[in-house]
Structure 1
Amino acid sequence: MLQMRFQQTRGQSASRVRLATPNVRARRCAVAVHASAEYEALRGKVAYKASSGDPVELTSLWEPVLGSKAVVVCLTHFADLTSWELAQKLVKIIPTLEGSGVKVMVLGLGNVNNAQEFARILKFPMDRLYAYPTADLYTALGFNPGFAPQLQVSPYVKLLPMLAGVGSPGTIQEVVRGYVGDNAAPPVFDSPTPFDILGSGYQRPFELATLRLFNMMGILPKWQELCPPDTSLLTQQGGCLVFSGTSVVFKHVDSGILRYTEPDSILQAALQADYTSSSSAITTPNSQSGPTLEAEVQ
């Protein structure tokens, strides 16, 4: 029996992977695999290409065979700080993923016009970006709907408690981390900045908070162009999936605002996806130390 355990620690620049192979020779395992629940949730769902507006069935974007790897990132809506911050990090790893044969698709909540404006402002590759107009897929994938989804009040009102951490676990801690810095995280800015006087090689105090301020200044003037027509989507949170064929090998469920998975974890999970589980992957997202994934191959 082969066991693979993937652990992510929030704020770390890289994730730790432990691969234990008792009494098993190092080789690729051929197993009969049933489609995961996440793959079935995607099957038949149609998103819209930001590049053209054309509809596309999501599972048609990669081959349903062992070793065919795909990363599906489900952003929140296109006017959300979380989506902006994650997209700015994703553009740095997409070339590495695709250079290793991994298909990349990034979904966001809203319409094609929202997606196109998002891509234009952030210089995000439009041919990797898709608009999804409703929350049904996110619900099927078990993503957090946000504060009091059944409460019949304005979603703008619901956002207020979420910003205070209600229905959005970890958001307050993440906001604080943006101000105090994080010795275990890489710098936010690649080019020289005034933050360099505080040292290098780590996330300096106020560095991440400054990026978030810049992003907010970019979002507010373009709110109408970026905000989804269905404003109930404003509180819906996202997540990330890594597939090998029809089997999910990594899943992260965002617990709340700004609580996305780090792209380094996506990168490592995708490049470690040569082993495919014979049953659905087990994930424990949003624990204190981050998500843990365990997969077994008989």
Structure 2
Amino acid sequence: MAMNLCCPGKTALSDRQLPLVSVKTCQEQRVLTSSHCNHSVAAKRVCAGVRPVHVRAVSSSSASTSPYSATKETSYASKEFQALSSITIFSTDGSPVKFQDLWNLTNGKAVVAFLRHFGCPLCWEFAASLRDAKPKFDSAGVTLVVIGVGTPENARTMAERLPFSKEVLYADPGREAYKALDFYYGVGRTFFNPASAKVLGRFDTIRTALKDYTIDATPKDRSSVLQQGGLLVFKGTQLLFSRKDEGTGDHASLDDVLKIVS
């Protein structure tokens, strides 16, 4: 008895031994799968006014030359996208926006950056870096989405003073997206995490970003300042990259992000 090369350890069946599958209706497409090998092909029969016939399942050895097209694997949304999809955030003019409406979910790529809050000085620095990287994202066909904790008014203040594009900036006053992603929160993460030491080598970029800084961009709800951010990269609804900021100023490397989306 011959060995089955596509599934080692299993014997190949002759054509006489292949199972029969009934096609009960005309003008229908069925996926026929051999029970002896994990390969499937689509069997399609178009006819009119004839009695049901029997079609043999296609063996793996003949799959490459079969006239039937291979079935396509179904793509499922990542758990991160599912957690965010129905959440409402707000544009800088106060208009509500569903997360699932921010980019092309078929195959579009998106970089979604979460700032701590709009009054965070180190978030102004990160936003300035995102602003400078936006032309590269645009040329790669990538949608940039930047979300911060605070009101649309807080978002406008940062956008006008930094400056930053209002078209890609969104407010999450209730931290709903942050909670859904389980981003870090608390006094320890905000003020005492060792990861925050990274800012010591970035004084020049911080000073430049804060040239027109104002504390007026800070949310009135002071508990919001304890929120940490992060960054995610999606292709459609699939997650390509995810990073939680360990502490204040611990931002994702945009060079690494650009490599992922390019």
TM-score interval (norm. to shorter): 0.5 to 0.7
> Which consecutive segments of 4 or more residues in structure 1 shift more than 6 A?
none
* 1:260 paired to 2:254: no
Separation in 1, partners of 2:183, 2:86: 18
Q: Is the 8 A contact 1:146 1:256 kept in 2?
A: no
Q: Is the 8 A contact 1:81 1:258 kept in 2?
A: no
Separation in 2, partners of 1:217, 1:146: 28
Separation in 1, partners of 2:116, 2:125: 11
Residue 71 of structure 1 corresponds to 111
**Could you list the runs of 5+ residues in structure 1 that have no partner in the other structure?**
1-29, 149-160, 179-207, 272-298
RMSD between superposed Cα atoms in Å = 1.9
Q: 2:222 aligns with which of 220, 231, 237?
A: 231
* Counterpart AA for 1:243: F
* Counterpart AA for 2:97: V
Separation in 2, partners of 1:43, 1:53: 19
Of the two structures, which has the highest relative contact order with CA contacts closer than 8 Å and spacing of 6 or more? 1
Q: 1:174 aligns with which of 180, 198, 204?
A: 198
Which residues in structure 2 correspond to 1:215-230 (within 5 Å)? Answer: 215=209, 218-219=212-213, 222-223=214-215, 225-230=216-221
* Counterpart AA for 2:206: R
Please list the CA deviations of residues 129-179 of structure 1 after superposition, one character each: whole Å capped at 9, or x if unmatched: 11110122112112111326xxxxxxxxxxxx843x2xx3411x3143x2x
Separation in 2, partners of 1:218, 1:129: 18
- Aligned CA distance change for structure 1 residues 262 and 80 (closer, same or farther; 3 Å): same
Q: 1:32 aligns with which of 68, 71, 74?
A: 74
Q: Is the 8 A contact 1:118 1:226 kept in 2?
A: yes
Separation in 2, partners of 1:94, 1:215: 16
Q: 2:86 aligns with which of 27, 38, 44?
A: 44
1:218 Cα offset (Å): 4.0
Q: Is the 8 A contact 1:74 1:238 kept in 2?
A: yes
What TM-score do the two structures reach when normalised by structure 2?
0.68
Q: Is the 8 A contact 1:139 1:145 kept in 2?
A: no
* Counterpart AA for 2:94: G
1:214 Cα offset (Å): 5.2
Please list the CA deviations of residues 187-238 of structure 1 after superposition, one character each: whole Å capped at 9, or x if unmatched: xxxxxxxxxxxxxxxxxxxxx224434555643xx21x20112211101000
Q: Is the 8 A contact 2:87 2:99 kept in 1?
A: yes
**Could you list the runs of 5+ residues in structure 2 that have no partner in the other structure?**
1-71
Which residues in structure 2 correspond to 1:82-231 (within 5 Å)? Answer: 82-147=122-187, 162-163=190-191, 165=192, 168-171=193-196, 173-176=197-200, 178=201, 208-213=202-207, 215=209, 218-219=212-213, 222-223=214-215, 225-231=216-222
Q: Is the 8 A contact 2:116 2:227 kept in 1?
A: yes
Q: Secondary structure at the match of 2:184?
A: coil
1:261 Cα offset (Å): 0.3
Please list the CA deviations of residues 27-70 of structure 1 after superposition, one character each: whole Å capped at 9, or x if unmatched: xxx642221111011111111111x22111011112222x3111
Q: 1:61 aligns with which of 95, 102, 106?
A: 102
Select the structure of larger CA radius of gyration: 2
- Aligned CA distance change for structure 1 residues 36 and 209 (closer, same or farther; 3 Å): same
Separation in 1, partners of 2:111, 2:134: 10
Separation in 1, partners of 2:161, 2:237: 34
Separation in 1, partners of 2:123, 2:167: 17
Of all paired residues, the percent bearing the same amino acid is: 32
Count of residue correspondences: 191
Separation in 1, partners of 2:115, 2:155: 11
